[in-house]
Amino acid sequence: MSDFLKHCTPWPEALAGEYRRKGYWRGQTFSALLDERAEQYGERLAVVSGQTRWRYRDLAAEADRLARGFSALGIGPKDRVVVQLPNCAEFFAVIFALFRMGALPVFALPAHRKLEISYFCQHAEAVAYIIAGQHGGFDYRNLASEVKAVSPGLQHVLVLGDAGPFTALHDLPDGTLPAPPEASDVAFFQLSGGSTGTPKLIPRTHDDYIYSLRGSAEICQLSPESVYLCVLPAGHNFALSSPGSLGVFYAGGTVVLSNNSSPDHVFPLIAAERVSVTALVPPLVPVWLDAAASLKPDLSSLKVVQVGGARFNSEMAARLVRELGCTLQQVFGMAEGLVNYTRYDDSDALVLHTQGRPISPDDEICVVDDEDQPLPAGEVGHLLTRGPYTIHGYYRAAEHNARSFTADGFYRTGDLVRQTAEGYLVVEGRAKDQINRGGEKISAEEVEHLLLAHQGVADVAIVAMPDAFLGEKSCAFVIRRDASLRAVELNAYLRKLGIAAYKIPDRIEFADAFPKTGVGKVSKKILRQIIEQRLLVAS
Ligand code: J2J
């Protein structure tokens, strides 16, 4: 075992044996999967992105070329590589190339900036960072220069498009491939939404992830005829695996990529490519519905719209079904593993009012009270889960793991749920210290730590506040050292540090003191009530 894998917690032998015996884990790797699909469906369309149209054989050939190139550069098995690409065909060539070599992608989001990317590079001891030169009006090469300056282990910056001072992805030398990885090996790192000071890396194996893809593809009835439109960031767990692009590849279908989720861009794409299924976060739904009502686009190919990532209210769910005339599938998942789906033949009551049930019969669900005691059926409590594709530990986070997993290896999701008589889950709230900003997760503690380091800040507490469009936004309550400190200065300070824009507080409220709980901790519950009240009065 290489040194770094010591920091990944494997499934206990007994459970791993059971998952293999039951045929969940089949010993297949991602590169074997792509080879198989290229063999079966070589001439079929795998990816569409702008002018790029790759058949399965093109995707496999491009992945092979890149793998040889990475190898020639000296990137080897188990090396970590931070991948931060927009939605583009090359994203898949890159990750399949890394999978083939047994190198491990870390899936950064396009919105991440210097602090996040440097942290991933340092924490994962990454040897390479892969970017698009410029995207969305932002120059990732400048970001890479800043990251490189503080990440001594980072040897390569590889660039899609104009490479500037770095190495171009389209112009790599040719090397020889190492032996392929084992299916039980870690294949890549997903990112945790986070509720602590630093983001956590989630090690997923070929075996466990491919099982979740197979299960998802079956539930979503994918076939080689399926055309999936990916408008969420391609590396995010929802868009990647539920069933996402990789689930569609599993089934031999076509993935259509877009970096723009606005209706005027996406509706013509749906019509032109005959898109059959797509995945949205809740805030996009009313935008699409309003535009559909006025533009009257041809959405006749669209059979299923998945919605997940954040709470989706049932009135909007009903509106979606009524106005688009397609099947709604609610998806409640997490990058750590467990994914729940409503099924296509479920009653309206289940589809509109629940967040589905797990993929696997071996996904164990426990709803417990604050003392970890199981609650009577139907009561709201903490969701704990264990199963064939849910991790048993974050990468190199022993202390955090002791809190995030039970002694029996159940993952503490931090979600408050209730289970219906049919075994479906309803997400009722959240116990973790996180803000879910329309599907984008913000760890309150992470941003609080940054603000606390500002010399004018004596104390800070960040909470969620209701927002009609995003569901939630973030509000930072700040106790100042210096009464002249203004909110804009704090925002500018955070921006300068280099964090993803969605983490910058939407609102800053100055306070003289914080309300406390009985045991003397800051009461975020009362702070949430205070900001809710102020918003009400203001409206
Ligand atoms: C309420 N909260 C939800 C839902 C996720 C599929 C779909 C989503 C994710 C995802 C994912 C929710 N209603 N329908 O990885 O494979 C909140 C919960 C959960 C957290 C996980 C997938 N769907 N959530 O959103 O890792 O709080 O994954 O624990 O980003 O999002 O966030 P993330």
Class for the domain spanning 33-44+56-181 = alpha beta
Other Cβ atoms within 10 Å of 264 Cβ, number: 10
Q: Relative to the CA of 356, which ligand 1 atom is closest?
A: 14
Instruction: Measure the CA–CA gap between 139 and 121, rounded to whole angstroms.
Output: 18
539 residues of the chain, pLDDT tens digit each: 456 778 889 999 999 999 999 999 999 999 999 999 999 999 999 999 999 999 999 999 999 999 999 999 999 999 999 999 999 999 999 999 999 999 999 999 999 999 999 999 999 999 999 999 999 999 999 999 999 999 999 999 999 999 999 999 999 999 999 999 999 999 999 999 888 888 999 999 999 999 999 999 999 999 999 999 999 999 999 999 999 999 999 999 999 999 999 999 999 999 999 999 999 999 999 999 999 999 999 999 999 999 999 999 999 999 999 999 999 999 999 999 999 999 999 999 999 999 999 999 999 999 999 999 999 999 999 999 999 999 999 999 999 999 999 999 999 999 999 999 999 999 999 999 999 999 999 999 999 999 999 999 999 999 999 999 999 999 999 999 999 999 999 999 999 999 999 999 999 999 999 999 999 999 999 999 999 999 999 88
ipTM over 0.95: yes
Whole-number Å distance, alpha carbon 292 to ligand 1 midpoint, is: 26
Distance (Å) from CA 331 to ligand 1 centroid: 8
> Closest residue (by CA) to atom 33 of ligand 1?
334
- Ligand 1 pocket test, candidate residues 107, 332, 363, 413, most atoms within 8 A of CB: 332
CA 452 to chain centre: 27
* Distance from Cα 390 to the centre of ligand 1, integer Å: 14
Q: Which of 414, 477, 469, 413 is nearest to 437 (CA)?
A: 469
What residue spans define the domains of the chain?
33-44+56-181, 262-341+354-430, 434-538
Q: Whole-model pTM?
A: 0.97
Please list every protein residue whose CB sits less than 6 Å from any atom of ligand 1: 193, 237-238, 241-242, 308-312, 330-335, 339, 355, 413, 415, 427, 430, 436, 441
Measured by CA distance, the residue closest to atom 32 of ligand 1 is 334
Q: Which atom of ligand 1 is nearest to the CA of 441?
A: 30
In this structure, the dihedral spanned by the alpha carbons of residues 250, 254, 259 and 260, taken in order and rounded to 10 degrees, is: -130
- Whole-angstrom distance, CA of residue 429 vs CA of residue 261: 27
Q: Which residue minimizes the CA distance to atom 15 of ligand 1?
A: 334
* CATH class, range 434-538: alpha beta
| Type of residue at 233 | P
Closest ligand 1 atom to Cα of 430? 27
CB 257 within 8 A of CB 234: yes
Sheet holding 411-419, edge to edge: 364-368, 381-386, 411-419, 425-430
What contacts 419, CB < 8 A, 6 or more positions away? 365, 367, 377, 378, 425, 426
Going by alpha carbons, the residue nearest to atom 25 of ligand 1 is 309
In this structure, what are the phi and psi dihedrals at residue 533, rounded to the nearest 5 degrees? -60, -45
Whether 79 and 100 have beta carbons less than 8 Å apart is answered as no
Amino acid at 160: L
Quick one: which atom of ligand 1 is closest to the CA of 414? Answer: 29
Residue 188 CB partners (closer than 8 Å, separation 6+): 95, 98, 99, 104, 105, 106, 107, 203, 204, 209
The DSSP letter of residue 55 is E
Cα–ligand 1 centroid distance for 333 (angstroms) = 4
Say if residue 243 is preceded by a cis peptide, omega within 30 of 0. Answer: yes
Of 23, 32, 386, the closest CA to residue 206 belongs to 32
Residue among 40, 19, 17, 37 at smallest CA distance from 29: 37
Query: Looking at the domain that runs over 262-341+354-430, which CATH code has it been given?
Result: 3.40.50.12780
The answer to whether 281 touches 438, Cβ cutoff 8 Å, is yes
Q: Would 33-44+56-181 and 262-341+354-430 be classified into the same CATH topology?
A: yes
